[in-house]
Structure 1
Amino acid sequence: ARGKLLEQIFGDRDVITDSDQGKSFRAFWDFLMSPSRQDELSDLLDTVFTLPAITGLSPDRRLKRIHYDWLEAGEHTQRTVAQLSQQLRRYLDDQAYLENRRIMDVLHGIEAKSLALRDNQPQGTFSEIDSSAPDISLPMERPLYSPPIKPVFNDAILPGEHAALNTDILFDQVVINKDKLAGEIRKALQLRPQIMLAELIEHCPLEQGLAELLAWLSLASEDHKTLFDEIHRDTLHWTDSKGRQRSVHLPRIIFNR
């Protein structure tokens, strides 16, 4: 009821303020509150009263002070509005007091019922909440979509002064036949349940160097039966394309049937 009353009061006030009469009164009051405009009006009235046509009419001299009468009437209107505001504030204070008193009565009732149930508490779960805090997901916290940046490559080849561009390396690719290596593992496991990678490489030397060794390691990682012994380590040797001896130390890898 209080909310509806306040809504009606402030709604009517807005209607009055937005009406033509309300706008006129506001502009008129602003005019009365402006000392410079009051002085301007006094000068204009003095000028008008000195005109021969006006002097012949014998005007009432009180018209020169009419703006002071307007100011007194405006103050009376403002005092009326102030009285209405005081009455409204007093009404709200009374309503707030009654509302607070009602809330206290409700709390005292809850407290009395809680004390009465102190020795006879309810058993089991009688109230549940989904979470102790709300899970807030704000739409504006999500990052905006940003298109991926496509790099721009300059494919123009700048010839050197005395250097010739050698493109043979682009076509000299090393291809490792992993199926052949997997076949060697299956063939070896037909004769024994386990075999180490070092034994396989001793039987099938590395012809493609490090690339072939990586292929063996790839097969070992893909087979879930393969064991990696971190305690024991093996050393593998091979000869690269330039005839140099190469070696690598790695954990012992055991293939199982």
Structure 2
Amino acid sequence: MNIDDFDRLWERHPAWRLLRARNAPLILSFLGDYFLDSNRGAIPAGELTAALDDHLYVIHLSEPERYQTSPEGYLDDWSSPESAWLRRFYPIASEETHFEATPALEKAYRWVENLQERSFVGTESRLHTLLDLLRQIVHGSETDPGTRIIELERRRDAIEVELAEAHEGRFTVLDDTAVRERHQQFSATARELLSDFREVEVNFRSLDRSARVKIAGWEGGKGDLLADLVTSRTDISTSDQGRSFQAFYDFLLSEQQQDELAELLTIVQGMPQVSTDRRLHRIHHDWADAAERTQQTVRNLSEQFRRFLEDQVWVENRRVMDLVRSIEVSALGVRDTPPHSDDLGIVVEEPGTPIALPFERPLYDTQPDVVVDSLLTPEKAGQSELDGLFAQRFVDTSRLIENIKAIVPPRSVAALDDILALYPVQEGIAEILGYLSLADESIVVDVTNDADRMMIDYLDVEGEPRRVKMPKVTITRR
């Protein structure tokens, strides 16, 4: 990195801006403890405001003139795009603003933590860790079976020697210094892992945001957009970061691994050589919570795919119905006066055996791909949606029941045509069918027999007079 790179980071990076802020001690002391040390995810605005108000109250007991801004003002400032130390958003199915920590806050907080002087700095355990990593790299990538067998036999011989010495009561035990050193390294690595989860979640959220932008502004075909979105989703899943995260998540979900982690953590926290850390005792649960929040971001991306498909299918189905209706109208128009075959261009060949010589057949010629564009133009799509919306009609069955109750006394019977004579049909044939399908405990609709008929005159939805002939229908009120 050159001086220009450092200049850009000094001016733009949120973590560096946090370290230069005048109220940085308040930000780090409150947000660091509330979000990072407690491993909290998204918090409602009311809950976070109350916690910050309590924190400021404790400060004002000793320093009344310090930090005079309201808790709401501080949260608005910390979550603004210029600061970007908190992320402010509305979760799905929630009307309250939520806040969560950003990776920039985590980096600044961890850097300040490392500024504290440590009375003990371990090096021996880290050297063993580095050697183990090198062995995993070298032996794990070995493809020669003979070399792998030699390495496995060497490790087996070393284990057998150690096992024989253990049977004789001779084995090496870690001293207090070695135990504290390894515990310190475990604590640091465990907290760094939580920080990495927060950064992976931000990367997945960036993919989700780009997918929403593409869906909102897309004007081309559905297939092209889906191909683009699926490719982006596959790229993030097959990247080094995506594969590493998925492998860790699968390992963490293993019941056997969870039991082993819980048992080991309980034993370590009970050792007198190490200081008890309440958070490390349940660090594996914090890992699971952080991984689940990251997985939720991926599920939100899949939800965007589903909504996009549902919206597009509705428009296409509407277009198909319009085409079918236009074909029906054209067929009814030529039903009584069918066109002549010459007008349709239909030619019927005379019966006979055609003669086709093999060499008269043309050579094979590849045909160009046929591209069918079924996308509606914006004007037509909008007009179809409005026409379909205004053309819908609804038959209120409760109104039909009230009509019957107003005419037919309890324990009496009336004919349907008599009821319609007093309450004319308003919604066309659909209203007549509505009477036949009434489902009410106090009303029974009965068709007497097919031989006894009745005639009903009504106006359809377009105001044209219509007449329907149907079996006699009686309605009994209980």
Higher-Rg member (1/2): 1
What TM-score do you get using the length of structure 2 for normalisation? 0.24
Q: Which has the higher contact order (CA 8 A, sep 6+)?
A: 1
Tell me which protein shows more helix as a share of its residues: 2
